[in-house]
Structure 1
Amino acid sequence: MRKFKTESKKLLDLMINSIYTNREIFLRELVSNASDAIDKLYLKSLTDSSVQVDQANLAINVAFDKDARTITVSDNGIGMTADELEKNLGTIAHSGSEEFKAANAEAQGDAVDIIGRFGVGFYSAFMVAREVSVISRAYGSDECNRWTSDGVEGYTIEPVSADDPAYRSEPGTSVIMALKENAEEANYDEFLSEWKLRELIRRYSNYVRYPVQMLVTKSREKEKPADAGDDYKPEWEDYTELETINSMTPIWKKRGSEVTDEEYAEFYKSTFHDWVDPARTFSLHAEGTLEYDALLFIPGQASFDLYSRDYEKGLELYSSNVLIMEKCADLLPDYYNFVRGVVDSADVSLNISRETLQQTRQLQAMARRIEKKITGELESMRDNDREAYEKFFENFGRGLKYGIYSSYGMKKDELAGLLLFWSAREQKMVTLQEYVAAMADGQKAIYYAAGDDRERLAKMPVVEAVLAKGYDVLLATQDVDEFCFQAMRDFTAKGLPKTYEDDAAREAAEKAVADGAEPEVEDRTVELKNVTSGDLDLASDEEKKEAEEATKANEGLFDAMKDALEGQVEKVAVSTRLAADGAPAVITSEGPLSLEMEKVLAAGPEAGEAPKAVRVLEVNAKHPVFEKLRAAQEAGDAEKVKLYAGLLYNQALLVEGILPEDPVAFATQVCELM
């Protein structure tokens, strides 16, 4: 027996027990090696006219023997001599494929794609096998040799005589694995079944360019005997047939004209276990320093676990048609976590087990290009198929908003244009770009109201007041909306018709357009404002003056109301946002924390420590209730002032969708008034 070197033994032990984490990938590695061996022979035939290869007969065979507890992977590729067995299998981490690829770099083309890189994939067989035998005959040689090892101490290499049943009469290699005995932590018998081997081939090696064949058991009805009577019952028999398990040609490598929408949809549903056709299918083909193909899908509906902690994002990653990772999370940003698809590149840098992708500039470049492609497709859907986009946004819009919030607004330039909100004036979903384009003259901000119900928001006094001014209000009903807007702060609308400061400039521009010039456009940045937060600056100078005078004249009343509310509000003031026939009072907030954000945080896991908004009670000085308050104050009826203050405050809270802190006390106050 030839001994493994000490460092090789350590590496082999590390590789079998640590590098690979999923034992079932052994078949992927051996099939990939077999594909490489066939590729080498095919390339040799392209460069050496004496080498004749019948491409139609090139194939990989997988077989199992349940009684002997063996699995065999065979190919009719280039094969190995005894020296090559020593060199390639006796030295851990020596890659014959990588060496061959480097030596034949110029000769390789689209017809040949060597998969192997590191020379350790073969040893993954020892995760399931107690002993591995490799029987190989090199092309052009009459010698056949056997390499055998238990993966512990060393290996043997010996010739195989022509009268030995294991002798190969044709060039190629057979890898025979004698499986380990079952243990408490592992059931190796599962690999000795037709369905399991078929599953592994289809999962990991479905798109290897050569047929992966296996004898499969099928059933058929026996021929009816000629002398069978009328009471004859059909009989069935089992038979075996050599079947190609893999599909070989990946759908993402085909031209778009060669694939129908139905075929794309079927691939999507079967691969990603969905029963609804994708809302959008698109592909990406990159050439140059980094080459890869991508086939991406936007699902037609959100998966049930999309917003759960257990959901895993990621695209299937292939290297030369061999599945490397089922979910490569690094290829998708979190806000596009709903996208499904496959990416295939022979250029990605893999670690030696192929199970973990190294963080490289190549990966980052692919991720950036994929993200840009997804954004472009969503913009196209938004502009050209609005109905489909609104359905998409209903399913996945929350994630886009969260992408802006979680990036502290850094991603607003990429994502803000994709957002949709309900327009109180237009009574439909609109983009922020559409909102700004339709803004009234003199409007300085995008106004929105945040809450949990569109109908309730539309009836809020502050919303009605803004609409009365001729300004639209966006009704935001998801819990992330307010946080998204706070992170954005403002929005820049692109390519809007240019506005002119004076009539002369406008007339000159109009004349230029009439003479054939292109209309001038500009980008316009507008602030986002919650209608319940701060000063909206919608009142005229006269209205502001009236409010200031009324506040000053009733300073004593407002101080008494604030005291009566016992610290629940920061101040009481006259409102400039309520119409004379509007609500008697409204709750607003000052500072960055709005009432809606307070509600969302209060519903979270740390509700007891959630911060409170700085509340302001704004009263309508033109409402009849205000006169009742003044009369009570002037009469010195402190109890009535306290009663009215509590009623107005709790009523305003209810309009905001917030329950009074003491509902019993509120009910008692109503009864007292009655």
Structure 2
Amino acid sequence: MAKKQFKTESKRILDLMINSIYTHKEIFLREIISNASDAIDKLAYKALTDGDGSFDRSKLAITLIPDEAGRTLTVRDNGVGMTKEELETNLGTIAKSGSLQFKKDMAQAEGVGENDLDIIGQFGVGFYSAFMVADRLTVTSRAYGSDEAWRWESSGADGYTITPCEKAEVGTEIVMSIKPDADEEDYSQYLRTATLERLVKKYSDYIHYPIRMEVERTHMKERPADAGEDYKPEYETVKEWATLNSMVPLWQRPKSEVKSEEYNDFYKEKYGDWEDPLSVIHISAEGAVEYKALLYLPAHAPFDFHTRDYQKGLQLYSSGVMIMDKCADLLPEHFRFVKGVVDSSDFSLNISREVLQHTRQLKVIAANLEKKIKAELLRIQKEDRPKYEQFWKAFGLQLKVGVVSDYGAHKDLLKDLLLFWSTKEDKLTTLAEYTGRMPQAQKYIYYACGEDAAKLSKLPQAERILDQGYEILCLTEEPDEFVINALGEADGKSFKSINDEDALPETDEAKAALEKKTEENKDVLDFVQETLGDKIHAARLSKLLKSGAVCMTTDGPISLEMEKYFQRMEPEAAGQMKAQRVLELNPDSGAFAALRDAMENDKELAKKYAELLYSQALLIAGLPLEDPAAYTELVCSLMK
């Protein structure tokens, strides 16, 4: 029979298929198997609608036959098959999908929606992906209800032939003549059973029908009845037919039928973790968008979680076929630690089925998953606090970053999940728990920033807050102060640093008394300012101190903790992000009295006292001494 030419601009489209549409050559097997699965789906549907009582669903299967010697890979199905006209239409016209037309025809005939039919293919291009690894394709097919069989053959853009042939059973067989190996391409791998098993497991594990292949398996021989105590087990390698795919995914089964051990085993096998997950979220959603999902909260952070190499995302399936290994759009950044899969036939896929088109369905599912994840975290927080604190230790920092990111867009969603160390409880607490314990007279939620909670509770400026019976949140991680600034308030209560002058209400008498003392000691403050120079922005008498002699605070928007953060993150630009340091002195302390006395009697000694108080304030604030050796010499000189 004369060779026919492809319809449309075949050479250009085939070149696009092979070189541009698909990212990885190995994807061809997924496409061919998906087409076979579609063909079996069509047969099952036709047999059901035709009332064929002889139809045996248990015999439906997809068979792989690699032939390394002949350098061919055969994929065989016992699906609906194709007539000569269908071979001409479906394979002779690139980008003509038989599956898509089948869905339209059945929907019209049966009065159902096209989305109610579980058929994957819709673009009519997946078949031609085989040309990425094969230089010739031979398709032999016999249609359901027909006695005729036809063979379609092509070596690519130069066209194809269709000839009659013999085929005993209904279905389709595709023989791919694998290309010779090239310098940079090992095409022979697609003839090895190990590679084929791996690709089936990766892309087609949940195809509804068994994918079978003859493989070599090693077994222990049966122990002879007369074997003695010194018998050593013997093994033999035999060829046997094996089903490569598991067919029914865990997430497709009802929750009531899945044991916790099955959830955990699936997680550990799929994600290579040695530890059971902290929690499992199994979702079966119906409505405007239907999908199933199986999400896991890991018990610990992966080793690369805080590196640029870590990739977030959920595995994405459509009708049992893996479309994407990591779909980042289904997870917000603040929940990037979640592992799992999502399966839906409602996704709008692009032509290669490798990436998604950004659709309303995708956004709806992503929003629903975000709510489900938060709800599960809140449940654990309330019902199993130790488990939640284990989660917090692993991923709490990620939630804090989520509060700050995107200009605080997610703060309302995440604030209920946050934990901070409490001076009163001496353990981690939520903001809701803190506000629930607040005395009626307490106006603010108090916090202190530093590197260690135990040290923060002993800060001199914390004394007056604690003496009121008020609780202080200890902010000990880098994003904490930014988180508090982003939140602004919780349960109607504003946040207030213990370093703020108005942290506690002040009477008019107290204000007047401090103003009087400031005026009386202006010469001391001026002397300290002059002595320390540009080390400080100002020296002032403190409203914050009760029994302590000195502390360091700031003026302006940059706090001491922010200054430390910028020094760590961007040391080259840290000089531009320095806090305006204020040295606060307690006028009622013995140290202040000694400073005043020295000013009147020994100015050099007074300068030493000023330097000493400044250095002590730095140490209390957790800031580095500018010259530790000079500080040591200063202390020693005062001991003489």
TM over 0.5, shorter chain: yes
Partner of 1:666: 631
Report 1:262-273 matches (<5 A): 262-273=261-272
The structure 2 residue matched to 1:146, chosen from 146, 151, 155, is 151
Report 1:20-39 matches (<5 A): 20-39=22-41
Q: 1:231 to 1:265 in 2, by over 3 A?
A: closer
Query: Which residue identity does 1:242 align to in structure 2?
Result: W
Partner of 1:169: 168
Query: Which residue identity does 2:518 align to in structure 1?
Result: T
Aligned-residue offset at 1:532: 2.8
Q: Does 1:449 align with 2:414?
A: no
Partner of 1:64: 66
- Residues 118 and 352, structure 1, Cα contact 8 Å, conserved in 2: yes
Distance 1:659 1:155 in 2: 79
Query: Which residue identity does 1:445 align to in structure 2?
Result: Y
Partner of 1:89: 91
Q: 1:184 to 1:357 in 2, by over 3 A?
A: same
Distance 2:227 2:426 in 1: 76
TM (norm. structure 1) is 0.90
Q: 1:225 to 1:526 in 2, by over 3 A?
A: closer
Q: Deviations over 1:578-612 (max 9, x none)?
A: 11xx2210001122211111101101144444501
Structure 1, 207-216 or 605-614: larger mean CA deviation: 605-614
- Residues 533 and 590, structure 1, Cα contact 8 Å, conserved in 2: no
Partner of 1:196: 195
Q: 1:618 to 1:231 in 2, by over 3 A?
A: closer
Q: Does 1:526 align with 2:528?
A: no
Q: SS of 1:597's equivalent? A: helix
Aligned-residue offset at 1:369: 0.6
Partner of 1:516: none
Partner of 2:528: 561
Report 1:274-293 matches (<5 A): 274-293=273-292
Aligned-residue offset at 1:183: 1.7
Q: Deviations over 1:349-394 (max 9, x none)?
A: 1100011111111111111011011111111111111111111111
Q: Deviations over 1:550-589 (max 9, x none)?
A: 112111211121121111222111111111xx22100011
Q: Deviations over 1:125-151 (max 9, x none)?
A: 111112111111111222221212222
Report 1:466-485 matches (<5 A): 466-485=465-484
Ranges in structure 2 where 5+ consecutive residues have no aligned partner: none
- Residues 534 and 590, structure 1, Cα contact 8 Å, conserved in 2: no
Ranges in structure 1 where 5+ consecutive residues have no aligned partner: 163-167, 494-524
Distance 1:205 1:92 in 2: 24
Query: Which residue identity does 2:136 align to in structure 1?
Result: E
Partner of 2:512: 545
Q: Deviations over 1:180-213 (max 9, x none)?
A: 1212222112222111111111111111111111
Partner of 2:588: 622
Aligned-residue offset at 1:232: 8.5
Aligned-residue offset at 1:226: 10
Partner of 1:49: 51
Partner of 2:600: 634
- Residues 401 and 480, structure 1, Cα contact 8 Å, conserved in 2: yes
- Residues 220 and 238, structure 1, Cα contact 8 Å, conserved in 2: yes
Q: SS of 2:407's equivalent? A: coil
Aligned-residue offset at 1:222: 5.5
Distance 1:599 1:355 in 2: 45
Distance 2:341 2:79 in 1: 29
Distance 1:258 1:447 in 2: 49
Distance 1:15 1:577 in 2: 72
Distance 2:309 2:223 in 1: 56
Q: 1:232 to 1:482 in 2, by over 3 A?
A: closer
Q: SS of 1:133's equivalent? A: strand
Report 1:216-365 matches (<5 A): 216-220=215-219, 236-365=235-364
Query: Which residue identity does 1:146 align to in structure 2?
Result: R
The structure 2 residue matched to 1:121, chosen from 101, 119, 126, is 126
- Residues 534 and 588, structure 1, Cα contact 8 Å, conserved in 2: no
Distance 2:279 2:325 in 1: 21
Aligned-residue offset at 1:76: 0.0
The count of corresponding residues between Structure 1 and Structure 2 is 633
Distance 1:355 1:199 in 2: 18
Aligned-residue offset at 1:542: 3.3
Structure 1, 229-238 or 647-656: larger mean CA deviation: 229-238
Distance 1:203 1:22 in 2: 13
- Residues 534 and 591, structure 1, Cα contact 8 Å, conserved in 2: no
Partner of 2:141: 136
Distance 1:226 1:421 in 2: 68
Distance 1:234 1:273 in 2: 31
Aligned-residue CA RMSD in angstroms? Answer: 2.1
Q: Deviations over 1:321-341 (max 9, x none)?
A: 111011100001000001111
Q: 1:353 to 1:51 in 2, by over 3 A?
A: farther
Report 1:301-450 matches (<5 A): 301-450=300-449
Query: Which residue identity does 1:73 align to in structure 2?
Result: V
Aligned-residue offset at 1:224: 8.0
Q: Deviations over 1:640-672 (max 9, x none)?
A: 332211111111111111112222332222122
Aligned-residue offset at 1:221: 5.1
- Residues 136 and 177, structure 2, Cα contact 8 Å, conserved in 1: yes
Aligned-residue offset at 1:223: 6.7
Partner of 1:498: none
Report 1:602-621 matches (<5 A): 602-610=567-575, 611-621=577-587
Query: Which residue identity does 2:497 align to in structure 1?
Result: N
